A and B are shown apart, each in its own frame.
Chain A
Amino acid sequence: MKKLLKEPLVHFMLLGALIFGYYYLTNDTEAPDSAVVIDDAEYDYLLSLWKNQWQREPNEDDIKAFLDQYIRREVFYKEALVMNLDHNDIIVKRRLAQKMEAVANDLNSMIKAPSEEALKAFYDSNQDLFKLPPNYTFQQVLFLKDEQNLSDRIESSKGALSRGEAIPKNRKRKLSLPNQWDNSSLTEISKAFGGDFAEALDSLPLNQWLGPVASGFGQHVIFISEKESARTAAFEDIKPYILKEYEFQTELETQEEVYQELLDKYGVKITSEKVPTSIKESFTNP
């Protein structure tokens, strides 16, 4: 039973029943379904909107005017519904689908905050999400693409650097980029050299001059002396972040679950021959 109570669909149905029930109980008017009803509640609402805008009491003309405006819209709205103008209207569809998704999200917040154990279990099973970026200590020497005999220069430079020769003066801070990077995070390296260069460091061996490795600036010869590999952050250190991730993930899951339940409820028949078979099957046999 406890498990059942946690099922989003159960919440969903309960909520639906509540809403339906509320309307059933409150809509006990005698007027035929087609009439535009202005009861006390509706009138008070319209009146307060008007007063809010104009900051005074309305006279009879004003009342006539705002009622006229309201009734006009309602009549058109009702007739539009009768004529099914809301059907297959992309804007109406999008809006209603959004509303349903919002209902699913609200459901998620009704499910109570996770216990310490649940959070720990989430952390344990999603270690990938909580990895620290690797840090690198490295040197780089830059060569520009329009340099003559570029590959020869790069090779001879690697040789010289491997023999312990210093970085030549004209390659110190070339294009302003520091040669030495100490304990630098992937974030910092990406900012300075671009993401591709930063990602490329991961697969390279330590303690040797190698390359070239490309960046948006040119070709780099590099020497990585230290790599602090991706490791998982300690639970206590990042608890608020884990909680946030947990809520985000469960929200998406709830939304997905509600979607799957509804998908089962309505079913999908793809009769068009033009849709590739594999895609068809992914919807009909998920």
Chain B
Amino acid sequence: MKAYLQFFLLLLILASCNNKPNKQETTNPEQEEGYMYKGTVYNVVENELKEAYFGEQHLHTAASMDAFIAGTRLTPDDAYRFAQGEEVRVNGKPHKIHRALDWAAVTDHAEFLGEAYSLLNPEAPGHNSEAAKAMRDSPDLKTALTVYKKYVLDALAGGNAHPDFWQGYEAVKSQWQKNIEATEKNYKPGTFTTIHAYEWSSAPNTANLHRNVFFRDTNLPDMPFSANEGPSPQELWDWMIAQEKNGVKVFCNPHNPNESKGMLFPEVAMNNKPIDKAYAETRQHFERNLEMMQTKGNSEVVPDFWPNDEFADFENAVSLQKYNGRIFEKHNFVRYGLTRGVKYKEELGVNPFKYGFVGGTDSHNGVMSNVEEFNYVGHHGMADETALDRSRNEQDGEMYNRDMNPGGLTGVWATSNTREAIWDGMHNRESFATSGPRIKVRFFAGNGYQSSYDSYEEMVKDGYAKGVPMGQNYGGSETPEFLVWAIKDPIAPNLDRIQIIKGWVENGEMKDTIYNVAASENRLKPDGTVIPIDAPVNMKTGEFNKEKGAPELMAVWKDPEYNPDQNAYYYVRVIQLPTARYSLWDEIRNPDVHYPDDTKRVIQERAWASPIWIEPAK
């Protein structure tokens, strides 16, 4: 086994060598059969049924200054290598993910890219400034935080966008170029896709309005647009419009609505003008997916406002309310946002919040999709690197470490593992989020589906032929049939059930409800309720139940309350059987570590498929 540990790495390395059998240099472009990238032809598998490719779309490296100060030294190149299964050192200790990713994007903060360039490169101006030295040499978290406050927060509070060693926009461009190079270097069409991206990190009055920005190809701006240049989303879109005029293909995904203080799904824009049709059109054009879950919480719903949702109490990061006035309010959660969007559709004719779903980590350790509970080593440098730190410390100014989670994952249905196909899949919202496991979920709305199929292939072909996939509008005149299908992660427990969540507007009122549409072991009763399943986790060993549940669930479902004149959306939630949370693994492995009693030890992981909308013609 040990010798095989290295296998994964080597394969990846060889994938980049020119002598790999499925890749050859060509001088004759006419003979190209496969996928051509920068003069090389790759034999890329094309799958007409589409395949679910799993990846990371939210990650910070040492090129994000906050990550650097917390002790992260892994570069974008290191992060991409980690994503491919290679071992790197995280907080000084060797670490890796057990299964390589299919694709990944590094999203360093645009705001301090120039400072990061000075910090990381000994030859760069500003490298030996006092502040830069202090940031590099922080021996512990407390010092790091002091340094951060002194050189970053105080500078910002004083009206300076940058600490004094900032060398100007040339430094920003230089680091952006470094990130671009790492992204190019690690792209292996057909095997591993990288996407050029960054994070725009605006937080007016600590309301999180951050967006990750993704580019389709190498037609890229000289420099990313940061919140320093424009803190309002409309300024970001203006910049994106200018980029599109240059032929740049770009979209963005907001994250952490749970920290948005009402500003992500607002009634008025940041300029205090009511949301109008132009705003809605622009927003829908550029903003394609919401990050459903990441290390700082699951933003779908909270029990406070959805008391009837029995699965709402899941990684809610409740202690974030203790900081920055980010208290929970209904308008800070995804299900509200989707329903408000549908109501805007009725009011303005356009839905500004027409989002598909993605999941990410937002790790500041450079560890792409390090989402498995049993493999969690924290995401914030010195702040949460040990079990003890995770059990008792706070994430400075944000929440308790024990309320953080390893983060989510994105699955994209795409015809091939190439940059264009993955980007297009996300852009079309044919994407789904999971809380970590590699559950796959399909979702179609159409007419004429069978209640079961002899083969997977027939089911998927029918799915596309007779309807639309997740992320689209259902346009038929009859009551839609929703075809939903999910399979488990092969190393995780079986599935419990599939639910369809509906939101709609009725006489101007926003409503939502949950339908159980499939459950393992015939537990779905005619009245729509599900008999609970008893599949306990072994609290001594952390093992999950291997007997119960179903590896696959499928259903074709019709909404009994369907009204063709109502604006509505439907999305899917797949629930897995219970597993040990990282807090339990930490306690099992470290007998001296005890999380406070209110910490969950067992969770039910899940997947969320992007919505399908009903938009009746007026």
Task: Give A residues with C-beta under 8 Å from B.
Answer: 48-49, 52-53, 55, 95, 98-99, 128-133, 144, 169-170, 172-176, 185-187, 190-195, 197, 199, 215-218, 230, 233, 237-238, 240-241
Q: Which residues of B contact A187 (CB under 8 A)?
A: 7-8, 11-12, 85, 100
Q: Which residues of A contact B150 (CB under 8 A)?
A: 52-53
**Complex alpha-carbon distance, A52 and B454, angstroms:** 72
Residue among B1, B490, B552 facing the most chain A CB atoms (10 A cut-off): B490
Q: Does the CB pair B4–A132 fall under 8 Å?
A: no
**Complex alpha-carbon distance, A144 and B298, angstroms:** 33
Q: Which residues of A contact B440 (CB under 8 A)?
A: 176
**Complex alpha-carbon distance, A233 and B11, angstroms:** 9
Q: Nearest chain B CB to A272's CB is how many angstroms away? A: 19
Q: Which residues of A contact B1 (CB under 8 A)?
A: 199
Q: Which residues of A contact B457 (CB under 8 A)?
A: 172-173
Q: Please give 13 more A-B residue pairs, beta carbons under 8 A apart, in addition to A130-B6, A169-B454, A238-B14.
A: A52-B151, A52-B164, A55-B158, A55-B164, A95-B139, A130-B10, A131-B3, A131-B4, A172-B455, A173-B456, A174-B456, A238-B10, A238-B13
Contact of B131 among A52, A185, A199, A237 (CB under 8 A): A52
Q: Which residues of B contact A230 (CB under 8 A)?
A: 3-4, 7
Known: A131-B3, A187-B100. A192 touches B10 (CB 8 A): no
**Complex alpha-carbon distance, A216 and B552, angstroms:** 11
Q: Which residues of B contact A185 (CB under 8 A)?
A: 7, 11
Contact of B490 among A52, A53, A174, A197 (CB under 8 A): A197
Q: Does the CB pair A133–B11 fall under 8 Å?
A: yes
Q: Which residues of B contact A174 (CB under 8 A)?
A: 456
Q: Which residues of B contact A95 (CB under 8 A)?
A: 139-140
Q: Does the CB pair B7–A133 fall under 8 Å?
A: yes
Q: Does the CB pair A144–B551 fall under 8 Å?
A: yes
Q: Which residues of A contact B85 (CB under 8 A)?
A: 187
Contact of A170 among B2, B6, B14, B454 (CB under 8 A): B454
Q: Which residues of B contact A241 (CB under 8 A)?
A: 9-10, 13
Task: Give B residues with C-beta under 8 Å from A.
Answer: 1-4, 6-14, 17, 19, 85, 92, 98-100, 130-131, 139-140, 150-151, 154, 158, 164, 438, 440, 454-457, 487-492, 551-552
**Secondary structure at chain A's binding surface: helix, strand, loop or mixed?**
helix
**Complex alpha-carbon distance, A193 and B491, angstroms:** 8
Q: Nearest chain B CB to A166's CB is how many angstroms away? A: 13
Q: Which residues of A contact B92 (CB under 8 A)?
A: 98
**Complex alpha-carbon distance, A191 and B98, angstroms:** 9
Q: Nearest chain A CB to B201's CB is how many angstroms away? A: 23
Contact of A194 among B19, B151, B490 (CB under 8 A): B490
**Complex alpha-carbon distance, A52 and B146, angstroms:** 13
Q: Which residues of B contact A186 (CB under 8 A)?
A: 4, 7-8, 11
Q: Which residues of A contact B488 (CB under 8 A)?
A: 216-217
The residue of chain A having its C-beta at the shortest distance from the C-beta of B99 within the complex is A191
Q: Nearest chain B CB to A266's CB is how many angstroms away? A: 23
Lowest 9 A-B CB distances belong to which pairs? A133-B7, A216-B490, A194-B490, A173-B456, A128-B3, A194-B491, A176-B456, A241-B13, A172-B455
**Complex alpha-carbon distance, A176 and B491, angstroms:** 16
Q: Which residues of B contact A193 (CB under 8 A)?
A: 490
**Complex alpha-carbon distance, A59 and B99, angstroms:** 59
A/B interface sample: 8 pairs, CB < 8 A:
A131-B10, A170-B455, A172-B456, A175-B456, A175-B551, A191-B99, A192-B490, A216-B488
